[in-house]
């Protein structure tokens, strides 16, 4: 049963939302109101009585559980020889808020969240959108929550089979480099070595010793320059040569993720 009243006629904005959801999922939409609800930020209706019935919070709760189940099953099948600890760590890397925020933005869910929430807020009769709502709509937590709410809406609309299929075939398989994700969070310099071997890349670290201070206060600062395939890509400095090397390797992966997500 739909969570919002079924409208006899859909507005142009609702038709646009339906087209975007169909394009995103490749599925026929049965209950558009569920998806509209998934992209309705809690601040749209303020603190009004029973406002939680008309925002995405309950769908977020459901989507979080569905996402946990589907990701856990996917990892169980994909890594048949890995232990529980590895599977748990990998699942936590997928379902954490920062990763879901990045993924949601790549899918365009941040735009749908803003468009839907602002449209519904204006429908409340307000003359202008408050600054705090605009700020929250752009926050990482809001986009991650919308991703989970969207999964919850898809589950209620199409069932577990279609939801699992969409997550596996359009998200978990094509969007994630599992080998790289397994290495994330490990020793950056070791991760760089494994990355270079996998991608057949050549890298080297140049070390320059810089003296600072005078007399008894003289110290040495190590400046590391990282070259990858003949390109100068990262710099880091530290009183410890090992820490400078680790920092340069970590900076390389940060820059890589920013310029070429996943």
- Pick the catalytic residue from 36, 64, 157, 245: 64
Distance of CA 199 to the CA centre of its chain: 24
3-state secondary structure 80-146: CCCCHHHHHHHHHHHHCHHHHHHHHHHHCHHHHHHHHHHHHHHCCCCCCCCHHHHHHHCCHHHHHHH
- Whether 148 is catalytic is yes
Residue spans of beta strands (DSSP E) within the chain:
203-212, 219-228, 231-238
- Whether 101 is catalytic is no
- For residue 227, the SS3 value is strand
CA distance 64 to 29: 21
- For residue 204, the SS3 value is strand
Instruction: Judge contact between 149 and 67, C-beta under 8 A.
Output: no
Instruction: Judge contact between 153 and 109, C-beta under 8 A.
Output: no
CA distance 161 to 176: 21
Place of tokens 């406002």: 51
- Pick the catalytic residue from 101, 110, 148, 157: 148
Catalytic residue annotation: 64, 148
């Amino acid at each position: 049963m739909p969570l919002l009243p079924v409208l006899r006629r859909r507005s142009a904005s609702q038709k646009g939302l339906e087209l975007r959801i169909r394009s995103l999922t490749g599925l026929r939409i049965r209950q558009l109101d569920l998806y509209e609800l998934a992209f309705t930020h809690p601040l749209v209706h303020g603190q009004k009585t029973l406002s939680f019935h008309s925002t995405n919070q309950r769908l977020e709760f459901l989507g979080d559980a569905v996402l946990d189940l589907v990701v856990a099953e996917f990892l169980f099948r994909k890594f048949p020889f890995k232990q529980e600890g590895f599977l748990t760590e990998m699942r936590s890397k997928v379902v954490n808020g920062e990763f879901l925020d990045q993924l949601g933005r790549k899918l365009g869910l941040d735009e749908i969240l803003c468009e839907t929430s602002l449209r519904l807020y204006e429908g409340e009769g307000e003359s202008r959108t408050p600054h705090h709502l605009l700020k929250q709509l752009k926050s990482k937590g809001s986009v991650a929550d919308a991703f989970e709410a969207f999964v919850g809406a898809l589950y209620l609309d199409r069932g577990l089979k279609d939801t699992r299929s969409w997550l596996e075939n359009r998200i978990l398989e094509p969007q994630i480099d599992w080998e790289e994700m397994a290495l994330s969070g490990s020793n950056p310099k070791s991760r760089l070595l494994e990355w270079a071997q996998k991608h057949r890349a050549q890298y080297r670290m140049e070390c320059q010793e810089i003296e600072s201070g005078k007399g008894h206060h003289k110290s040495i600062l190590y400046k590391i320059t990282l070259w990858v395939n003949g390109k100068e890509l990262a710099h880091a400095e530290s009183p410890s040569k090992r820490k400078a090397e680790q920092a340069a390797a970590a900076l390389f992966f940060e820059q890589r993720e920013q310029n070429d997500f996943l």
